[in-house]
Amino acid sequence: MQIVKKHIRRVLPKSWEKLLIDPRRHIHRWGFEELIDAVMKAMLSGCKNLRELELLTAASGERIPDTTMRDLLVQIDPSPLEEEIAKGVKQAARSHELDEKELPFNLIVIDGKALTTCDYEVDEYSRNCSQKGVTKYVTMGLRAFYASSPVKLLMGQELINQGTNDRGAFGCFLDKLVRLYGRTNLLEVISIDAGITSIKNAKQIVEHNLDYIMALKDARSRKATRLAIEFLGQRKRADKIEKEFINGRQVIRRLYRCETPEMKGWEHATEFWRIINKNGTVTYEDRYFITSIPKQTLTNSHILKAIRLHWSIENNANWVIDTAWGEDTNPWCNQAIELLSLMRIIAYNVIARLKLRRLKHLDKTVITWKGVLMLTRLTLFPTVKTSIAFS
């Protein structure tokens, strides 16, 4: 309990009033600091909606109505939270929590994620995704994820406007990340999926003195993909074969790599990679990649590790946030989705640092994400029954 309490006190803002602006013009029953602190504590406790927050406050003291919370949240400017997220990641780096690297460089994964789905259009970020006569609107965002160490943290977020997509929003997001982290060494290699891959985005990454790993797709429309298939598609001998048992089944990974030829727009590219994954005798993944990382920087094992770490944004951050917090199905308040999603990133990073660093050596058993949330709830709300925060 003391470890949890000390950790939360150390990593959270000392004053929400100094970070965020209270939009209310008149004196209210509830103080701004008290309300925002209640929201953050509820998120750290695993609450999935404002109703659970109301129950928590009712059981631990004086009840804060969910309507009171909602009326405040929709008015708050969320932009200062971007700096707060960066401050937390940089604090983790200074505290040597990110020192145990799995790669010889810092790998930042950028990928798209559905932040919420609802039945009506909320704002310029809501896009129609109706199917079979069922009307649905989804709010999408890009997120950046530090993947190089066992302590994996979210570094920031960019909402995607209706008029664009992951690829189009990438440039603004990269500029934001450089502004937030440019004076650190945290940004080194940017890893992105095929939906973001383009010559324009590759050029922008290189102009910021960074390297990239980009997945390739659609051989009909991309010369780089066609050349990668031409150079590696028929090669029989793999440069590296790794075998691993996962859930009782053998997974075989094969790596093929070669230098890139001269290509207009891809002058900064150094290598093509092809990775084939088999689960037993069934091939479930056959993908091509292009990179600007100098060939001598990476061993074959490093390449296979880097591609596996790319998917940690799905297996760690996205899966955890959707499972433990129910982000994609429980938005709390659609009109304040940016504010709440940024606060949820802060909560995720606090819990990730607690689970993967502070509590790592206390017990030989692995504490689950839900278990850490339960421990945090018991610390923050010691008089509240467990079932309230996890209904």
Helix or strand run (H / E) with residue 16:
helix 16-19
pLDDT of amino acid 203: 97
Comparing CA positions, the residue from 294, 222, 289 lying closest to residue 256 is 289
Q: Which two tokens stand for residue 300?
A: 């074959």
pLDDT tens track for 229-273: 999 999 999 999 998 887 777 889 999 999 999 999 999 999 999
Instruction: Evaluate if residue 160 carries a pLDDT over 70.
Output: yes
Q: How far apart are CA 213 and CA 308, in angstroms?
A: 12
Q: How far apart are CA 208 and CA 232, in angstroms?
A: 30
Q: Which domain holds residue 71?
A: 2-78+337-389
Domain end, chosen from 273, 293, 313, is at 293
In a domain, 235, yes or no: yes
Measuring CA to CA, how many Å separate 286 from each of 190, 267, 276, 277? Answer: 21, 25, 4, 7
Q: How far apart are CA 283 and CA 181, in angstroms?
A: 39
Q: Specify the number of domains making up the chain.
A: 2
Query: End-to-end CA distance of the chain, in Å?
Result: 23
In a domain, 369, yes or no: yes
pLDDT of amino acid 288: 96
In a domain, 248, yes or no: yes
In a domain, 307, yes or no: no
In a domain, 310, yes or no: no
In a domain, 298, yes or no: no
Q: How far apart are CA 53 and CA 70, in angstroms?
A: 11
CB 192 within 8 A of CB 171: no
Among 47-61, 168-182, 348-362, the minimum mean pLDDT is found in: 348-362
In a domain, 364, yes or no: yes
- Statement to judge: residues 204 and 289 lie in one domain: yes
Among 54-68, 166-180, 266-280, 351-365, the minimum mean pLDDT is found in: 351-365
- Statement to judge: residues 283 and 213 lie in one domain: yes
pLDDT of amino acid 386: 54
Instruction: Evaluate if residue 331 carries a pLDDT over 70.
Output: yes
pLDDT tens track for 94-146: 999 999 998 999 999 999 999 988 888 888 898 888 877 888 899 999 999 99
Comparing CA positions, the residue from 311, 210, 223, 293 lying closest to residue 264 is 223
CA angle 39, 140, 333 (to 5 degrees): 30
Domain end, chosen from 231, 264, 293, is at 293
β 107-118/282-291 pair status: unpaired
pLDDT of amino acid 361: 61
More confident position, 384 or 186: 186
pTM higher than 0.75: yes
- Statement to judge: residues 287 and 351 lie in one domain: no
What letters, b where the CB count within 10 A reaches 16 and e where it falls short, cover 122-148?
beebbbeeeeeeeeebbbbbbbbbbbb
pLDDT band of 278, cuts 50, 70, 90? confident
At which residue do the structure tokens 């053998």 appear? 250
pLDDT tens track for 68-85: 999 999 999 999 999 999
Q: How far apart are CA 154 and CA 157, in angstroms?
A: 8
Q: How far apart are CA 9 and CA 3, in angstroms?
A: 10
In a domain, 285, yes or no: yes
Mean pLDDT of the chain: 90
Q: Hey, is 83 helix, strand or coil?
A: helix
Instruction: Evaluate if residue 391 carries a pLDDT over 50.
Output: no
Phi-psi domain of 48 (left: phi exceeds 0; alpha: psi -120 through 50; beta: other): alpha
pLDDT of amino acid 221: 61
Residue 121 DSSP code:
-
- Statement to judge: residues 215 and 279 lie in one domain: yes
Mean pLDDT of 163-179: 96
- Statement to judge: residues 341 and 286 lie in one domain: no
pLDDT tens track for 42-65: 999 999 899 999 998 998 888 999
Among 200-204, 220-224, 232-236, the minimum mean pLDDT is found in: 220-224
Instruction: Evaluate if residue 34 carries a pLDDT over 60.
Output: yes
pLDDT of amino acid 390: 46
